[in-house]
Amino acid sequence: MVIQARINDTTGDAERLAVVQRYHILDTPPDGAFDRITAIAIHQGELYQRLELANHQLQKLSLLDGLTQVANRYCFDQQLPTEWQRLQRAQAPLSLILCDIDYFKRYNDTYGQLAGDRCLQQVARLLQNTVHRPGNLVARYGGEEFVALLPETDLVGAKLVADRIEQGLKHLNIAHGESPMGRVTLSIGVAYQVPQQSSSPEDLVRQADQWLYQAKTAGRNTIRTQKR
C-alpha cells in the first residue's frame, strides 16, 4: 500500500503539485497506524510549504532596501547587465537616471536622523510612483543617491521622466532651511545608450555619474543630460 501527501505550492510562477512524502507498507498496518502515518505525511507537507514560502520571502527581502522599500544596490547590480544583454540583442535603447538629494547632510544635521529617514522614504516613494512603467527599476544606489533604470526608453523619454521627478518633488515641498532653495531638491544626471559589444553597462553608469556631477557643479536643483 502507498500513501501520498500532496500540497499546492503557490510560491512559483505557476501552481504545481509536489509529492512531499511517500510510505510503502508491505503488511497490513495495526489499528490506528494508517491514520498516524497519514497525519505525519500531511504535517511534513505543511512544513515543506512553509519552508518554500519563507525562502521566497527571504529572497524578496534580499533585493529590497530596508528603509525605503525600493530595490537595493545589489538588485540594481543584478538587473543592469541582464537588461544590457537583452537590449543589445534587440538593439533597443537603455536609459539611466542618477539622483542625489541636495544638501542632505545639512538636512540630517538640522532635523535629525529620523527626519532624514522620512525624507529618504518620501523621495523613494516619489521615484517609485513616477517611474512606474513595467520593466523599469528604481533602486537606492547608496546613501542619499537613487537610480532609475529605464529599458527601451530613449534620451527624450528619460528626460521627460526626470522632469516629472523634479516637478513631483517641487510639489511635495519638503522644507529644508539649510538649503538655498528652502526645500529638498535633487541633482539629476541622465545618460542613454543603445547597448553595443564595444561598450559596457559600467560605461552607462559612468556617464550618468558624470552628468550628475555636472548638475551639482551647476548649482544643484537641476538636470543635466548628454547630447544626442
**Residue 43 pLDDT grade (very low, low, confident, very high; cuts 50, 70, 90):** low
What pLDDT, on a 0 to 100 scale, did the predictor assign at position 227? 76
Q: CA nearest 97: which of 227, 2, 228, 226? A: 226
Domain residue extents for the chain: 2-61, 73-225
What pLDDT, on a 0 to 100 scale, did the predictor assign at position 97? 98
**Residue 71 pLDDT grade (very low, low, confident, very high; cuts 50, 70, 90):** very high
CA 31, CA 205: separation in Å to the nearest integer? 70
Higher pLDDT, 60 or 206: 206
Mean pLDDT of the chain: 85
pLDDT digits (tens, 9 = 90+) for 21-42: 444 544 555 666 666 666 676 7
pLDDT digits (tens, 9 = 90+) for 93-139: 999 999 999 999 999 999 999 999 999 999 999 999 999 899 999 99
What pLDDT, on a 0 to 100 scale, did the predictor assign at position 35? 66
- Buried b vs exposed e over 123-157: b needs ≥16 C-beta within 10 Å? bbbbbbebbeeeebbbbbbeebbbbbbbbbbebee
CA 107, CA 116: separation in Å to the nearest integer? 7
What pLDDT, on a 0 to 100 scale, did the predictor assign at position 47? 63
Residue 166 bears catalytic tag: no
All three cell numbers of 140: 537606492
Fold for 73-225, please state it: Alpha-Beta Plaits (3.30.70)
What residues are paired with 24 via a beta bridge? 2
**Residue 10 pLDDT grade (very low, low, confident, very high; cuts 50, 70, 90):** very low
Pairing relationship of beta strands 186-193 and 94-101 according to DSSP bridges = antiparallel
| Given 46, 52, 144, 178, the catalytic residue | 144
Phi, psi of 25 (to 5 degrees): -115, 115
Whole-Å CA distances, 20 to 24, 25, 54, 207: 14, 17, 17, 52
Residue 84 has pLDDT above 80, yes or no: yes
Higher pLDDT, 155 or 18: 155
Phi, psi of 100 (to 5 degrees): -135, 130
> How many Å separate Cα 82 from the centre of its chain?
14
